[in-house]
Amino acid sequence: MEDDAPVIYGLEFQARALTSQTAESDAIRFLVGTQSLKFDNQIHIIDFDDENNIISKSVLLHQAGEIWHISASPADKAVLSTCYNKSEASTLPFHVTRHLSRVVTCGAVWRMPPEWESGSHESPDDPHNSHNPQNLELLCHLDNSAHGNTSSVLWEPMGDGTRVISLADNHALLWDLTESSTQATISSSATLEGKGQLKFTSGKWSPHHNCTQLATANDTAIRGWDLRTMSQIYCIENAHGQLVRDLDFNPNKQYYLASCGDDCKVKFWDVRNINEPVKNLEEHSHWVWSVRYNHSHDQLVLTGSSDSRVILSNMVSISSEPFGHLVDDDDLSDGEDNHQYDKSKEPLQDSIISTYEEHEDSVYAVEWSSADPWLFASLSYDGRLVINRVPRALKYHILL
């Protein structure tokens, strides 16, 4: 199937940070942040033309440092936040500063310059067209040196783009952005306390309960927080055998949560019963770095792993539409998939839809498009961005 062939885009730099442009509902657009210690880092805005299967990109400079995390404002297309490494040594001769140099991860909110869209559209075939990439406009820092390194910045889901949470070491900080996001003030904060050096590795703001809940991961535990009181609601100790790498909330079922980690597993939790996961997936052969629910059809779960694979699973049994559609055998004869569907199984059967092996290096981020629910992107460390679609047969199944 020609249309299902993946579209591959290569960045010049190594990259870990990927997000879709959340506020954009028409164009299929992804933002990628690069990691380079030597050069100015960039944010690539990848536009995908679904009709013609063409990728176009724009590049914005992110001179503050290498990007570890990126997220887009749900309200304003042009606003985004990054977590970046600021290395104080990088600008000075090494021998002078070697005893002073320090790498700090900071968070900041940026605005894309208004002209990027009109002016600098270019095709990827012509990479050196961007002689003068424009800089991002800094709106505000989400910094507080007292709170340590910022590992990620989370926007309030479906909010008006005025509230963000940043996770810094063992603190979760709730910021209010005022004056068109140029001013950031901490409205409240929560601190993780316990033995040793605790550090949040990742977090997710729940879109349910009026956006009053947050889930965070530190080491092997998953914790839920109530943002009104900034207190812990639940704690899944030893959620994974090893480090928990990522979390995602089911967009339709308020108590359901997916997590992934270094034990190569993806687990699905009902936070009302934290003793046992609802479901376990063990398909990857190395650490799973990213897990994402499809925004519209929560049976579709995407995972990316450092075994260089992206796996699309169909978790029908725990989705919000468990009785959705009858599987018709003819429609499932999709030859491209490495994992065949279970043709004889009932529709309730969970299954791997497809394993994508276009990446050569570890995949650290996967993301669904916010505009087209049947499209997703994955980013591997070597800078390769792959855009894939849900197999058409399955799409029609879910729709019809």
Partner 1 sequence: MDGDINATAPGTTPPDTDPARKRRVHGMLKLYYGLNEEGKTVDQAESMDPCDINGPHFDPEVYLNKLRRECSLGELMDQETCMVKQIRSLDSDMQTLVYENYNKFISATDTIRKMKNDFKKMEDEMDCLSTNMASITDFSARISGTLQDQHAQITKLSGVHTLLRKLQFLFELPARLNKCLELQAYAQAVSSHRRARCVLQQYSHMPSFRGIQDDCHAIMDKLAQELRQKFRDGGSSAKDLSECVELLLQLDEPAEELCDKFLSHAQSRLEADLLGLEAELRPPLSYGPTAVTDPYTGPAHRLSVEPTAGSPTGPSSLNNPFLSPSSRTDILEFIDRGCNEFVSSLCLVIASYQELFVNRPQEGELASKNIPQMAIGKLHAFVDALATRYFSLVERRIQEEKSVGDNSLLVRALDRFHRRLQAVAKLLPGSAVPSQGTEIVVRAARERIKQYLAALQSFYLNSLTDVRQALAAPRLGGSSAGVGSHLGGPATGKEAPASLPELLSTLSASILNQIKSVLASVHLFTAKDITFSNKPYFKGDFCSHGVRESLVVNFIKFVCQSSRQFCESAGDRGGSTPPALLLLLSRLCLDYETSTITYILTLTDEQFLVQHHSPVTAVTALCGEAREAAQKLLNHYVKVQGLIISQMLRKSVETRDWVNTIEPRNVRAVMKRVVEDTTSIDVQVGLLYEEGVRKAHSSDSSKRTFSVYSSSRQQTRYAPSYTPSAPMDTNLLSNIHKLFSERVEIFSPVEFNKVSVLTGIIKISLKTFLECVRLRTFGRYGLQQIQVDCHYLQMYLWRFVSDENLVHFLLDEIVGSTAHRCLDPAPMEQSVIEVICERG
Binding site for partner 1 (CB under 8 A): 10, 12-14, 36-39, 85, 87, 89-90, 94, 98-103, 238, 240-242, 263-264, 285-287, 306-308, 357, 360-362, 381-383
Task: Tell me whether strands 134-135 and 54-62 are parallel, antiparallel or unpaired.
Answer: parallel
Burial 354-370 (b: 16+ CB within 10 A, else e): bbbebbeebbbbbbbbb
d(CA 264, CA 283): 7
Q: How far is the CB of 160 from partner 1 (least distance, A)?
A: 34
Q: Which is nearer to partner 1, 21 or 306 (CB)?
A: 306
Local structure of residue 265 (DSSP, 8 states)? -
d(CA 129, CA 125): 10
Q: How far is the CB of 234 from partner 1 (least distance, A)?
A: 18
Single-letter residue type at 82: T
Q: Which is nearer to partner 1, 213 or 378 (CB)?
A: 378
d(CA 196, CA 39): 36
Q: How far is the CB of 128 from partner 1 (least distance, A)?
A: 11
Q: Which is nearer to partner 1, 16 or 147 (CB)?
A: 16
Q: How far is the CB of 37 from partner 1 (least distance, A)?
A: 6
The encoded tokens of residue 201 equal: 């590795």
Q: Distance of alpha carbon 23 from its chain centroid, rounded?
A: 15
Q: How far is the CB of 286 from partner 1 (least distance, A)?
A: 4
Measured in residues, the chain has a length of: 400
Q: Which is nearer to partner 1, 39 or 396 (CB)?
A: 39
> CA-CA distances (angstroms) from residue 100 to 20, 36, 150?
37, 21, 20
d(CA 296, CA 74): 16
d(CA 303, CA 315): 12
Q: How far is the CB of 264 from partner 1 (least distance, A)?
A: 6
Q: Which is nearer to partner 1, 103 or 230 (CB)?
A: 103
Q: Which is nearer to partner 1, 54 or 92 (CB)?
A: 92
Q: Which is nearer to partner 1, 250 or 362 (CB)?
A: 362
Q: How far is the CB of 87 from partner 1 (least distance, A)?
A: 6
